[in-house]
């Protein structure tokens, strides 16, 4: 009797679903957060009688067989890449991406990471850094006497000096695109690393091949839909209870078996 073990796999799947959902809800206000979704697949089958074999009684081919399944397993927790709403913040170094592109930042230990969180700041020496203080890979340094910074939709960064009398181009922000963006691995702090699954970062000017244009003074909201997450949570909870009910029934039956003299 496998029902005990099978029900346990069902309970553990629903638990994973609750974990993923609660992480989504916790990140409902995280800048540019993409909701995650757990996906499941049935486990292997014990074939007691294969369909298509010859019947011992009639000699006919059996149209269906007897296959007992062994429950469920988690196959993936996939990132659901979706554009979040853009929120006006007015910050001149707040940049949102309206498309599929990622900013590239340099990690202190070497290598680069990718992020859609465009809440940038200036370091003490005027270098554009992200919230964690990691330098933007496009290495843009703002002179100390600049009055204002303009970032155009296609990524050109210009500094305006002394009441607009002098304008200087500081550099360009490129965006990275991935063939399979859900294949990126999350590093925390809204950062992602490229992997074999995501493919290499394809860096180009914003707006090309769906990278999306930049919007200065905006930040991207989390794409978590709280109502949908709560529905998911309730479903997972009920699913857990139903599997627990199966576990209890299997237990009762085993108990009854043990009582047979």
Residues 49-108 binding other proteins (CB under 8 A) are 49-52, 61-72, 75-76, 78, 80-82, 100
Q: How far is the CB of 239 from other proteins (least distance, A)?
A: 5
Query: Smallest gap, in angstroms, from Cβ of residue 23 to other proteins?
Result: 17
Report the distance separating Cα 71 and Cα 46, nearest Å.
Answer: 11
Of 29, 165, 188, 261, the one binding other proteins (CB under 8 A) is 261
Q: Which is nearer to other proteins, 16 or 135 (CB)?
A: 16
CB burial of residue 41 (10 Å; 0-12, 13-18, 19+): exposed
Are 179 and 211 spatial neighbours (Cβ–Cβ below 8 Å)?
no
17 interacts with other proteins by CB under 8 A: yes
Q: Using CB atoms within 10 A of its CB, is residue 139 exposed (0-12), middle (13-18) or buried (19+)?
A: exposed
Burial (CB count <10 Å: 0-12, 13-18, 19+), residue 28: middle
Could you tell me which residues come within 8 angstroms of residue 108 by beta carbon, excluding any fewer than 6 positions away?
Answer: 134
Binding segment toward other proteins, per CB under 8 A, in 106-114, 132-140, 158-166, 172-180: 172-180
Q: Which is nearer to other proteins, 189 or 209 (CB)?
A: 209
Residues 199-258 that bind other proteins (CB under 8 A): 199-200, 202, 209-210, 235-236, 238-239, 242-243, 245-246, 249-250, 252-253, 256-257
Among 22, 180, 226, 230, binds other proteins (CB under 8 A): 180
Nearest Cα to Cα of residue 148 among 91, 109, 212, 194: 91
Interaction with other proteins in 105-164: which residues (CB under 8 A)? none
Residue 140 near residue 170 (C-beta atoms within 8 A): yes
Decide: 65 and 55 in contact? Cβ < 8 Å. Answer: no
Closest CB 245 distance from other proteins, rounded Å: 6
Count of other CB atoms within 10 angstroms of residue 190: 21
Is residue 14 within the footprint of other proteins (CB under 8 A)?
yes
Give whichever of 17 and 215 is closer to other proteins, judged by the CB atom.
17
Interface size with other proteins, residues (CB under 8 A): 73
CB 50 to other proteins: min, Å: 6
- Pick 133 or 200: Cβ nearer other proteins: 200
Pick from 6, 137, 142, 159 the residue near other proteins by CB under 8 A: 6
| Inter-helix orientation angle 226-259/3-26, to 10° | 160
For residue 194, the Cα-to-chain-centroid distance in whole angstroms is: 13
Q: Give whichever of 29 and 259 is closer to other proteins, judged by the CB atom.
A: 259
């Amino acid at each position: 009797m496998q029902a005990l073990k099978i029900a346990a796999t069902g309970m553990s799947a629903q638990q994973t679903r609750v974990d993923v959902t609660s992480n989504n809800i916790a990140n409902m206000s995280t800048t540019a957060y993409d909701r995650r979704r757990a996906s499941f697949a049935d486990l292997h089958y014990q074939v007691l009688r294969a369909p298509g074999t010859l019947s011992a009684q009639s000699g006919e081919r059996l149209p269906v067989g007897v296959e007992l399944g062994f429950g469920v397993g988690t196959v993936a927790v996939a990132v659901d890449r979706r554009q979040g709403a853009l929120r006006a913040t007015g910050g001149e170094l707040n940049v949102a991406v309206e498309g599929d592109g990622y900013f590239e930042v340099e990690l202190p230990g070497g290598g680069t990471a990718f992020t859609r969180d465009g809440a940038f700041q200036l370091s003490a020496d005027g270098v554009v850094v992200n919230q964690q203080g990691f330098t933007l890979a496009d290495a843009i340094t703002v002179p100390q006497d600049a009055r204002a910074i303009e970032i155009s939709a296609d990524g050109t960064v210009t500094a305006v000096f002394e009441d607009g009398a002098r304008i200087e181009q500081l550099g360009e922000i490129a965006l990275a695109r991935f063939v399979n963006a859900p294949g990126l691995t999350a590093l925390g702090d809204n950062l992602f690393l490229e992997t074999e699954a995501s493919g290499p970062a394809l860096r180009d000017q914003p707006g090309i091949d769906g990278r999306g244009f930049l919007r200065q003074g905006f930040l991207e909201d989390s794409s978590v839909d709280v109502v949908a997450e709560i529905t998911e949570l309730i479903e997972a909870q009920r699913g857990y209870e139903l599997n627990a009910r199966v576990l209890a029934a299997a237990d009762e039956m085993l108990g009854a078996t043990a009582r047979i003299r």
